[in-house]
Chains A and B, each alone.
Chain A
């Protein structure tokens, strides 16, 4: 019998439909593989095997009844899903990678997760993340780092490193992540898989624990563009519980197996993303991929995003400023850990000072400073204005091209501890992913090669607001003619 854990989401779906396997068999195979490899990888913070087996059994019953009686089946019935531990699932603890939420059990479910449950998916666990998604390596998780399946001495990227490692190591065919400054695309790139950051406003943020509210998005991981599109199509759409979710139609995403023509598609390549200091193998692989897109019929031209270099300082003022406000809710009163004191001010400062990790405190401090009296205009106000310039760069570029192609990160996965004592060096890892969040545009990362250390290289396509369909179409065409996305890390 085939190893069910090696199937893509789409293949697993076909296996369930044809009766080749049941959801219980698929889920058990997944849980067994997790049990075997998790000690090496540490992709999960909380596993939910009982819940998964119960949901899988229900899925099998529903399918059995459908075979007898017909009708309609939920579109992703019985397929396993890993969920980043920053998205709430009622009754299952949600730590956000933080000690302060070690025992927090949310009473409600995030809309993105709820829609995938309604679509029939089976939740196998909550994946590791940098504390409150603040990080690019999962080294900021209070529960220990996740390891990169391609090389255990390297980071998986972050903050959604647990989800990316899980999909890369075939512990799950699909996983949810969140992307505030690159937290889906960068780990997808480091782990050699496909990951989507949708347009801001496309997927409800309800039940996503807030970090930078004007930047946060819920995205998805899979091994192929087809798989990510399957998950995205089910969770996208208007939700009245998120005032920033947009009531727009979702274009049908049809990705046929033989559909690899990109005739007429205009792809822009921004010089500003091929800067000095980029790993030459990364640049070469991305440029080769761009040539492949040309061979598929796309028209490639240079495009300019002149304010790209300012995205990093803009992001690292706006995101911490929003975080400093969002994280004010962790006060030891209504939920989360508490260090008691007779004095309420001491209670607040001790709880927060001792239960938050170093990076979270650093960003709260930075954001508080940027918003404080006397500095607001110079830092936060100026950052918001430069954000407008970055957004306009994209608007102008998308008058000339349909998509923008660029590397995801300047280098492949770095080693543990490489940047731990130098936050600024760590922030520089995000230099190519931050602009899409500041402009709110969608981005899709996927593998386009490997470096000499056999570490995956990713590229990203960015598109106009609400044109995820174009990103999927282009990446799918590329994956029809290349096999980078089929390579698997060797784990025993």
Chain B
């Protein structure tokens, strides 16, 4: 069973604000899912390599050449706030 503290810790890592009711619900539901997932421990996987891609391993390279991309104007079109051709954000330095 996950504890409330663990749920709160994961929520901070995931950058999610959760209500008290959500924390309790996720604690219950995630515990049930993780308990179900625990059956994977039944399998002996020593010597089995992990699969991160089903494709054959290969390097994908392209010429290092400058190509046209999206304009600054187009890139900022979907930004919630922008100013002087830049994304506008609250201060990111000086936080405790």
Contacts and interface: CB of A to CB of B under 8 A. Distances in A.
Contacts of A386: 40, 43, 45, 48
B10 A368 contact: yes
A486 interface: no
Chain B interface size band reads 35 or more
Given A335-B78, A361-B22, A388-B48, A107 B34 contact: no
B66 interface: no
A365 B37 CA distance: 15
Nearest to A373: B13
A427 B33 CA distance: 10
A366 B33 contact: yes
Contact of A389 (B26, B43, B55): B43
B77 A107 contact: yes
Contacts, number: 169
Contact of B40 (A314, A332, A358): A314
A429 to B, nearest CB: 14
B40 A338 contact: no
A242 to B, nearest CB: 9
A244 interface: yes
Interface string A273-313: 00000000000000000000000000000000001001011
B15 A349 contact: yes
Nearest to A241: B62
B68 interface: no
Given A336-B78, A350-B17, A388 B50 contact: yes
B18 A361 contact: yes
A162 to B, nearest CB: 23
Nearest to A215: B54
Contact of B30 (A201, A307, A366, A391): A366
A362 B29 contact: yes
A310 B34 CA distance: 13
Interface in A384-431: 384-389, 391, 423-424, 427
Interface in A358-384: 358, 361-362, 364-366, 368-369, 372, 378-379, 381-384
A105 B79 CA distance: 11
Interface centre among A201, A342, A368 (most CB of B within 10 A): A368
B34 A385 contact: no
B74 interface: yes
Nearest to B6: A369
A361 B16 contact: yes
Contact of A391 (B7, B11, B32, B54): B54
A323 to B, nearest CB: 11
A374 B84 CA distance: 44
A104 B78 CA distance: 6
A344 B18 contact: no
Contacts of B74: 107
A385 B79 contact: no
A310 B90 contact: no
Chain A interface size band reads 35 or more
Contacts of B43: 307, 310, 382, 385-386, 389
Contacts of A338: 80-81
A341 interface: yes
Nearest to A440: B54
B14 A368 contact: yes
Contacts of B14: 324, 352, 364-365, 368
B20 interface: no
A348 interface: yes
Contact of B37 (A372, A379, A384, A385): A379
Interface in A421-449: 423-424, 427, 438-440
Interface of B: 2, 6-7, 10-18, 22, 26, 29-30, 32-34, 36-37, 39-41, 43, 45, 48-55, 60, 62, 70, 74-75, 77-81, 87, 89-92, 95
Interface of A: 103-105, 107-108, 200-201, 214, 240, 243-244, 246, 307, 310, 312-314, 316-317, 324, 328, 331-338, 340-350, 352-354, 356, 358, 361-362, 364-366, 368-369, 372, 378-379, 381-389, 391, 423-424, 427, 438-440, 465
Given A335-B80, A369-B34, A385-B50, 10 more contacts: A104-B78, A310-B40, A335-B79, A340-B81, A347-B89, A362-B29, A365-B10, A366-B34, A379-B40, A384-B52
